Structure 1
Amino acid sequence: MGHMFTWSNNKKGLDRIIERFDRMIFYSYSINTNQRLVVKHLPRIASDHCPILLNLSSLSPKLSNSIKFENIWASYPASYSVVNNVWNRRLLSNAILERENIGVRVSGNSPRITLLLYADDVIVFAEAKITNVKLIKEIINKYCNWTGQKVNTSKSGLLFGKVVNTKMKSKIKNILGYKEVKEFCYLSTRLALRKLSRSDYQFIVDNVMKRLNSWGSKFLSLAVKITLVKSVILSIPSFHTTVSLIPK
């Protein structure tokens, strides 16, 4: 709610620039719970950034609708197994969220971070214990049996913390069948246990130069080129600066 842009350079006329820099980030569990989240952009007064207000209110429980059932389905023996299989199916995220042993906490009072899920890219966080690994493997196998999907082992990996010893790493790799990696990319973001250096972000400059060279070879007006820079080029570093600490 409110103005769609959250930042302005406080200038007038053609020198005025307005952008949407500020965002409200939610934990996936807070969105799935029975509550209403309302984000409101407040007016700018002293700062060049808009204050962001989050209103959270619980929704009143909805009355369950009556279930209508045709008796004719009871005459088919196969209908019982169909209904049973559907009722027993749970999404991968729900199956993991219900397990208290899976997940990590940044601090003692912080919410438990269990997984990041976007399309077919999944990251699961868990303490390096055999019981947790076997539980994760069981959930993945059940999910694959429910949906008919399969895990791409060649694209899957295990990123261990520095305190995990070699013996425990070997056991976990044998159970899951995934290779160990030192870092990986998730949604074009590099994740590693080390501090990333300037060379790790060279791909941003390379990507920008590649696009500029491509547009320079085409018959485009100056106004079109400026529009492409504002809408495409500026979004590339803006995305990475919101999720990573890029060195100066």
Structure 2
Amino acid sequence: HTSVVNRLHKVLQQGNYKLSSVASQVLGVSGRAILQAMMNGESDAQRLAALARGRLKASHTDLVAALEGQLSEGERWVLKQLWEQLTQLETEIARYDEEIRVQMSEYEMVLERLLTIDLIGRRSAENLLAEIGPDMSSFPSDAQLVSWAGLCPGSEESAKKNRSGKTPKGNPWLRRALVEPSWNAARRKDGYLGAMYRGIAARRGGKRAVIAVARTILEAAWHILSEGVEYKELGGNYLDQRHGEKTRNQLIKRLEKLGYDVSLTPKTVAA
């Protein structure tokens, strides 16, 4: 599906169309209506822009400018073939989705508990459950599950410093099911996992931060499945509160490096 969409984008670019720069989803309602018109021979930018529905990320003027292109007959033919492939793939995907829904129906209560984990959506929860199953008897601890997934820190870790920076090989499908949603932590402004990502990314980079978030999600899933509990959101300030003195000293050092003399006075709480 993704490769067909990418080829579709390439055909549009060859015709000097910049639809992806003004529509957040080229295959959304507006994008599909515009593409259908293009395949039917419409090339007038104003008429194409008039097909847009709802709010786009660009103004009407920018949309018109992005649609000032021209497809050759050959390019239009290729676009139609790609559209047919895309339609067939989406039909097949819908059929698989329905079968997954049927197969997962008996685990609905388990899925609902997994969905309490921050960053985990329905598809991620289904993928996670499909890979590890609902029975955690094969994994006596969360650490063993993390190791099986290949998400534990590298073997050269010492004093909380991973010199190799590599994680062991594990179940690639499970890793993908966890890593993909974990990237969303970079955009999470609040919440424990968002704070964890930012803290680790600042020191050791985004990729290591994502692995750490994925590991935490899997640990939470183990507790949910083995103990029947729900995910507890600790909040974005949890790490700062837990390591208050360390956080304070780090901030003081940063200010001192910027040339400030820092003196802190504890805030008194009114009686």
TM range (shorter): under 0.3
The answer to which structure has the higher helix fraction is 2
Structure of higher RCO (CA pairs closer than 8 Å, 6+ residues apart): 2
| TM-score relative to the length of structure 2 | 0.21
- Answer 1 or 2: which has greater strand percent: 1
